[in-house]
Structure 1
């Protein structure tokens, strides 16, 4: 399979600056990095493709050769012994440290332990709690700093520089034409080793515990909103900074209202007599009750808008509206007297008189008649 154009791989113009190339490579690498796509062979191929393209285009000499001769510049040795992709050029370790330091554990790429992992927590709220705001206490299982060794993992709090990675926390290895790096297998990315492990945490520097926190939920949140509590995630290994806690809000379905952004929607059942003669009905809102006036001859599905009776979200300056859709209810459990009255009422709908009082029904019947006429002809 022929190689794709390097500029196309990175998604940049042929006159792209060094900074544009670096930004494009970062975007590409973050999208296809194997740590973010475990087991995805296509993503691994794309990642290698992005790396190869950047290695060439970020080197002035290689880029000039590529612009003149394309891929042939390297496939046939036109660039000399050190001209091919994967030799010389930019220090990919520096770029990997910048890009992936915070995405895949943070902090460990340039020597030193990674920060603690971020923790997610899903908090379910009633609609009323989400709209008005609330403070909730939560319990989360987490890794906390070991108090007996102050998070060092060492009984005597003494750490020695790792002899394998010399304190960098990572080691380099060659895989074909690519120079890769990974956490040091000896010190597990710490850059330090422990001669006398702590008996409480067994050298890990962290212990499992249940953490109790009080979380303030601001008024107006909605499902999918996240609240970040800095430093309340897992403690970092060997005294590294803790990760963050992200509380994701999920609003439970409500018995009456359905939320749509800042607006609320509800259905209001009314009797046939109210729809025909008109009436004033009281409807619930999140702030109490309100009235809507039902005009005479109102049809089912008519929507009434109550301004500012919706939700004032955390992002909006003004509250939304409440939309009430009336539904004309068919009466049930009728008494004999009520049945007799309805029979007398129905008897008044005869001939053209019925069409005058039921415009939608008449339109429907006209449509049906036209349909059958067309079918017969």
Structure 2
């Protein structure tokens, strides 16, 4: 029995030691194609943020929809994360952005993220709190001690219905705030949490599995006219009136919760790539979800920024690309448009300007230079 246990131990030894080799001897991004996977928190969900804190990385990335294929568009990007594990150079905050991976800036370099572009335009400190939710914000004590002037909640169109109502899963957010504060208070605890999380990622295993699936064609890509999509035609489905009313209730709840704290609220939905590029899809169906939602929010006096109509004019009339061909996230041009619309909204007494002609001139010139 002892001999059998010894042999089994020797057999298992490489599998036990290899994750340690990955963490202590190989570069952090040795098996990853994006910084996102490299520094995102995998299992240690007790840390403050979604990424490892105090990081600075630069690498050549590929889009999430066609990595390691002939369709991948490679691009060098740079990342910084702050002491809390969010993608910021520091933790100063006058304006706070809550959102998903678009707000984080997948496939964008640090200076191209919405937080940094908006910061340059507004002349205020803009903080990217993403990926995160309104409830995570409400449960984070550093924002209670020093609240921002404005909170902008953003979501990609396909996930808007998943935005949680105020108070939903609030206990988990409060517990993570407490555990995150404890870990952040000690460099040793932070190092142990990051190291344990890196060990759990098993980079070689997951890369090998992905390569095998790709070799056998198990990874399906939705592609039309050399553009890759995450959902295809199903993204442009028709939403019921009950769904419109439900999400309007959620967003109005956000406004009221912030209003009680003296904080201004602004909602900014980001159109799906399928929405703006709908003419490339087989059905060629133009979605109406966002216009209907925006109309209901106006009726309820919930401030919102309309990106869809501006994106449509830029792409369909000006032929300006707003999403990478191999990725579903917006590109740096779309970010500049969004930042300009938010800035116009905040600097005007009335509704946001529908568009800035200077943007169209600038982006048309930029497109000609790229071509």
Q: Compute the TM-score of the two structures, normalised by the length of structure 1.
A: 0.21
Considering only CA atoms, is the larger Rg found in Structure 1 or Structure 2? 1
Structure with the bigger RCO (C-alpha within 8 Å, sep 6+) is: 2
| More helix as a share of residues | 2
Normalized per residue, which structure has more strand? 1
